[in-house]
Amino acid sequence: MGPSINRSLDATPRLSVAHRPRDSAVGDDACPSFEIVTSDGQTMVVTTIYVTRHAFRVSYTLNTTTGEYHTNSPSPTNIPSDPPLAAYGVQQSHELAIELAKLDPPVDYLYSSPFYRCLQTLEPAVEKLRPGIRVRAENGIGEWYGVASFDHPSPATPAFLKSLFLSSFDNTYQASLIPPRAGETVSQLHDRVAVALAHIIASTDAESTTRDTSILICTHAATLIAIGRTLTGNMPDDPNVDDFLAPTAGITKFVRKQDPKVDVSKPSGHETAKSIGSVDWRDGKGVAGGWTCVLNGNCDHLTGGAERSWHFSGEETFGDLKPGQKIVSAEAGNVVALSGQVHRMARKSRI
């Protein structure tokens, strides 16, 4: 049986919108200049969210009986399931950084999965974005692992990540939640992501002092798709459909809706997997008032174009597998059990 989620709702303030036109047009998909104000007078200033998937990484294997991960390219975090980027991925990260520096509105805040490949993907961008910008590691937008009879590995601690990324990493940020180590169902992944996004957006709304604030999130394939669905409020009847594209180092853009009567759930403080609340995001509501996707998995900035995209193919389950039996991985597409192991295979369309 998979992990359970407490679905009690937090109090949700009402929103009103004060529209302010931009001084100049910057394109059809530009985010309009507006403020969203709650009934208690709080101005909500995050108007744009950019999302990217980490660049091309090295592969690893998993023994589904013992839960032991192995890679031939050791990670700086010393966690076998936390591989670094491949050389090709490093090239992608530099091409991505050049494009991120051109975005309008520009990136004000960086949030990332705490896994090394995501932080490494953002490293070149930190040098090109606004002075003093730092990356905040949020476990709630971390990797998706399917339900298993063993504990999946946790990412490195913020203190250790700070030692690796030094000035580019914000080790004072407190993540909104810790995903269950025994894995999640597809539905539970989406609900977890919704809570994390509500926390990120509410925290940034409260912290930012500028209008039209923009957030960039670096995450993983399954989590990126879940971000798109929870922001827009559009959960397909078939979770396996290709709705939000997840190529490596692509860019997806969301702009905030101007809806005067939308409920927003705002988690407060640090939450563990056992105390995850819920956000009412389905049926078109979306997290924090709802968002519109205006750019979906764009890869025009990459020399190789769109590569290694992925979509759900049912539940990811780690159990008693027979040699050669295929299951689905959030990072690999086909995963084959070889003598009790699951091997994440590199394919043309998925990795």
pTM over 0.75: yes
Mean pLDDT of 321-345: 37
Cα-to-chain-centroid distance, residue 291: 15
Q: If pLDDT is split at 50, 70 and 90, which confidence band does 104 have?
A: very high
Which token pair is 178? 């810790």
For residue 44, the model assigns a pLDDT of 59
Q: Are strands 68-70 and 333-338 parallel, antiparallel or unpaired?
A: unpaired
Residue pLDDT, tens place only, 4-24: 222 222 322 323 233 232 332
Nearest CA-CA partner of 342 in 183, 121, 189, 117: 183
Q: Which residue has the tokens 């399931």?
A: 81
Cα 52 from Cα 329, distance rounded (Å): 19
Q: If pLDDT is split at 50, 70 and 90, which confidence band does 211 have?
A: confident
Asked if residue 190 has pLDDT above 60, the reply is yes
Query: Is the Cβ–Cβ distance between 201 and 288 less than 8 Å?
Result: yes
3-state secondary structure at position 265: coil
For residue 126, the model assigns a pLDDT of 96
For residue 317, the model assigns a pLDDT of 77
Residue pLDDT, tens place only, 49-66: 999 999 999 988 888 777
Which token pair is 279? 């956000």
